[in-house]
Amino acid sequence: MDLPLPASVATSTPSLPAISSLISQHFDRAVTRIERAVDQRLQAFASANVTAFGSGNVTAVSSITPIPAVASQSTTAQPVVRTNAELNPSRKVDINGQSLTFNYSDLPVPPALSFGSDIENLAQHWGDVSSEWAKVKAHPKIAIKGTPIPLGAWKLVYSGWARGLGDLRWKGNKGPWVERKYLVAAYRKSGSVAQFWKDFSSADGHLTFTDITKLLRERRKAANSRIVELAKEKYGSLFNSTFSYRKSGKRYVMTRPHVIARRYIALKNELPDDLRDLSCDSDDD
């Protein structure tokens, strides 16, 4: 059972609103004192700075210089721009004593060649004998800027151009050109049309140009293999160092017979008579 408070206590205890008002008054006074103290400190600090540095030594910053923007580095590959000289280079050659200067764009597309079994006509168009070339010069297989080009000079005008021109004309014609070169060489060795067909006939008659080129290729292969054996016999322990080449900073020993044969001949080594007309040629590469 709750007992009632004495009347004196009940009348002396402040009410809740009165307590809240009293706390609010004390808080406001404290905040006011703090604000005054802060203002005094700020004024003292400003006065000290002006005294120490002087108003004339303070430089006002009117604007901020922006940092230059760094251009972004594009990673997109830029197209290669070729000059006219690169796209259409020129060349100067000698065609049977006649100087000829022409551009790449002057080269005609080489026609397909067919001589059937006419070895004499092939030799005439090859152009290595002036008297024979004169017979067909008026009707050449190709001409550049009006100059007739003998078949034997095709490598001179078609090969060795700068890479990137996107032209496969010589690559597609090199093989047939090389085979015809060996046919003409065999004809020159025979000395006449009659002797040529005597050398390249069977019981069934004349061999075709295709069969003759296969036979000549086999003979060259056998000749180069014999030269390799001659080189190994002559150079012995020095073979690997003599018949080697450098590539990408490393040294490699030659393995292809016609390349070894070419080096052997370049070193002024004598060949047996039966190998002199059959051995290596740079066009075999």
Taking CA atoms, 163 is separated from 106, 144, 159, 239, 248, in Å, by 17, 21, 11, 35, 20
Contact 182, 210 (CB under 8 A): no
Q: What is the dihedral of CA 171, 173, 218, 280, to 10 degrees?
A: -60
- CA-nearest of 265, 259, 229 to 244 is 259
Each residue of 196-253: pLDDT tens digit?
999 999 999 999 999 999 999 999 999 999 999 999 999 999 999 999 999 999 999 9
Contact 275, 223 (CB under 8 A): yes
Contacts of 226 (CB under 8 A, 6+ apart): 275
Under DSSP, the state recorded for 9 is H
Where in the chain does DSSP place strands (E)? 90-95, 98-103, 142-144, 147-149, 201-202, 205-206, 244-247, 250-253
Token pair 């004196």 in the structure block, residue:
8
- CA-nearest of 132, 233, 147 to 187 is 132
Beta strands 90-95; 244-247: pairing state? unpaired
CB atoms within 10 A of CB 18: 9
- Provide the residue type at 160 as one letter: G
Could you tell me the pTM of the whole model? 0.65
CB atoms within 10 A of CB 30: 10
CB atoms within 10 A of CB 151: 25
Distance CA 35, CA 29 (A): 10
**Average pLDDT for consecutive 10-residue bins of the chain (285 residues)?**
47 57 67 70 57 45 48 56 69 93 92 91 96 94 95 93 73 90 95 96 94 94 94 96 95 95 94 77 59
| Rg for the chain, CA atoms, rounded | 50
- CA-nearest of 261, 256, 255 to 277 is 261
Q: Residue 148 has what pLDDT?
A: 96
How many CA atoms does the CB half-sphere of 2 hold within 13 Å? 3
Under DSSP, the state recorded for 151 is G
